[in-house]
A and B are shown apart, each in its own frame.
Chain A
Amino acid sequence: AQSVTQLDSQVPVFEEAPVELRCNYSSSVSVYLFWYVQYPNQGLQLLLKYLSGSTLVKGINGFEAEFNKSQTSFHLRKPSVHISDTAEYFCAVMNDYKLSFGAGTTVTVRA
């Protein structure tokens, strides 16, 4: 079985400041890792994913994440956020094509 823990439920950040959203996972097998973003009253949009290979993954909208196997982490980062990055962010682990999501992190970007 696998599980995902997002360590921060809410992250307020000022515009143009960097942001890091923390995600730790547990799994007994190799996993695929994902970050999704959800804007209010919308479905989920894929930001990036790690399947194999380079541990630094670059995604859309300037986001990147680093897979750390020894720390079982997949933290998401963006060097400079915009107001439009205000949203809910979900980390997820896939096993047997099923996704298990973390509880989500609400990012609020203020001017």
Chain B
Amino acid sequence: GAVVSQHPSWVICKSGTSVKIECRSLDFQATTMFWYRQFPKQSLMLMATSNEGSKATYEQGVEKDKFLINHASLTLSTLTVTSAHPEDSSFYICSARGAGGSDTQYFGPGTRLTVL
């Protein structure tokens, strides 16, 4: 149980285009999903927290207009990188927390974004 998937697993795009990454909780309802960014050989940095049906909360320094997050259902959250540039190339990982105040986050396998 507690499986989180991400799609796509990797994507290459041209500079200036937008890319959408999906995060799904497959066997549980996720009231809260988190989006992280990980640079090579570095730790995960929390970008934003999304709660189903409400606006995402962004961490300091994260541009909300560039990283659009939508959490339309209890099993799906999407991250759209708008007008991507090479510096947005990174490994994006989502996690999901179940209902009932669960203290455990279940992580997706990550999406490798490369912007040319």
* Stretch from B12-20, B69-77, B106-114 at the A interface: B106-114
Select from chain A the residue with minimum beta-carbon distance to B94: A43
Nearest residue in B to A94 (C-beta to C-beta)?
B103
Determine chain B's interface SS by DSSP, over half rule: strand
Q: Which of B42, B45, B93, B97 contacts A97 (CB 8 A)?
A: B97
Main secondary structure of the interface of A (DSSP, over half): strand
Chain A residue total in the interface (Cβ 8 A): 20
Interface size class of B (residues with CB under 8 A): 20 to 34
CB pair B103–A90 under 8 Å, yes or no, is no
| A44 interface neighbour in B46, B97, B107, Cβ under 8 Å | B107
- In the complex, which residues 43-102 of chain A have their Cβ closer than 8 Å to any Cβ of chain B? 43-46, 49, 51, 90, 94, 97-102
Given contacts A101-B44, A104-B42, contact A43 B107 (CB under 8 A): yes
A27 to B114, CA, bound (A): 36
B1-54 residues at the A interface, CB under 8 angstroms = 4, 6, 32, 34, 42-46, 49
> Which 9 pairs across A and B sit closest by C-beta, in order of nearness?
A43-B107, A44-B107, A43-B109, A101-B43, A43-B110, A103-B43, A101-B44, A43-B108, A104-B43
